[in-house]
Amino acid sequence: MHTVVIGQDPYPEVQRATGRAFEDWGVPELDFSPSLKRLLQSALTCQNPGLNADQNDTGWQEIREEVTAQLANRQAMTAYFDRLAAQGVLFLNAAWTCSAVPVGLPKTEKDRISSAHRVFWRPVMQKLIADLAALEQPIAFILLGKTAQNLLSGIEGVFRHSAVVPNNHPGRPAYFGDNPFCRLNAAQEQLAGAEIQWWAPQELPPAGPNVGGDP
């Protein structure tokens, strides 16, 4: 493992949840979450710099056809994240769990429930980050959003062999700018002389029926 991508919370919708961070099972209808759409825009553009599809939400239309061909079922979605894991990429969220929120609950109460999960998981995540950063093997961390970035509070001194790439959360329009995956690859090149292949569709299984079943 030499790359750690940290987001914020798990998907709150049961039908999307897979038990793994970032993976989205909204794919039978290609109904990806907005966050995953933006991450895929960054992934494809980082692998194909001439594509220029990572600047705003309209870039999704630039890549939609390719994504449709490759990620039209749960098996293909899982294979995509498995391939990244095989390259040493670990996807995590600042909170590993979330609670079902009743419809109509005030925003302040929704925020309180979400915050409680992050507080619960914070020491676990900080210990994990500190242990990884203390390894002799170089590690590159990409921190998506303030919640992920705030995990570094109090553990900055352990990053002897690591690089930290902060970025806005993909759920926010301000996410767009310098491609975070390209920046992380630049850090990886300096640390270990290697880059992550964020998108290699020829290695994915062909699109087919939804074979994953309900989560």
CATH number at residue 196: 3.40.470.10
For residues 179 and 182, give the distance between their C-alpha atoms in angstroms, rounded to a whole number: 5
pLDDT at 146: 94
Contact 195, 183 (CB under 8 A): no
Average pLDDT over residues 150-169: 82
pLDDT band at 41 (very low <50, low <70, confident <90, very high): very high
| Within-domain flag for 210 | no
Amino acid at 105: L
Of 211, 204, 215, the C-alpha closest to 68 is 204
| Within-domain flag for 213 | no
For residues 44 and 104, the model is more confident at: 44
Cα 56 to chain center, whole Å? 18
Q: Is the pLDDT of residue 200 over 80?
A: no
Taking all residues of the chain, what is their mean pLDDT, rounded to a whole number? Answer: 84
| Within-domain flag for 12 | yes
| Within-domain flag for 212 | no
Of 96, 136, 148, the C-alpha closest to 2 is 136
State the total domains in the chain.
Answer: 1
| Ordered strands of the 139-144 beta sheet | 89-93, 3-7, 139-144, 162-167
| Within-domain flag for 64 | yes
Of 156, 134, 161, 160, the C-alpha closest to 143 is 156
For residues 86 and 103, give the distance between their C-alpha atoms in angstroms, rounded to a whole number: 39
**DSSP H stretches of helix in the chain:** 34-47, 59-70, 74-86, 107-133, 146-149, 180-192
With pLDDT > 70 as the criterion, what percentage of the chain qualifies?
89
| Within-domain flag for 89 | yes
pLDDT at 214: 37
Contact 122, 94 (CB under 8 A): yes
- What does DSSP assign to residue 150? G
pLDDT at 158: 62
For residues 140 and 191, give the distance between their C-alpha atoms in angstroms, rounded to a whole number: 8
For residues 170 and 104, give the distance between their C-alpha atoms in angstroms, rounded to a whole number: 25
> pTM value?
0.86
| Within-domain flag for 208 | no
Average pLDDT over residues 192-212: 64
Q: Is the pLDDT of residue 205 over 50?
A: no
Q: Which two tokens stand for residue 148?
A: 């992920």
With pLDDT > 90 as the criterion, what percentage of the chain qualifies?
44
Cα 112 to chain center, whole Å? 24
- What does DSSP assign to residue 97? -
Domain that holds residue 103: 3-203
Half-sphere exposure of 212 (CA within 13 A, CB side): 23
Tokens 């994953």 label which residue? 212
Q: What is the pLDDT of residues 121-156, one digit of tens each?
A: 999 999 999 888 888 888 889 999 999 999 988 776
| Within-domain flag for 214 | no
Residue 5 pairs in a beta bridge with 91, 142
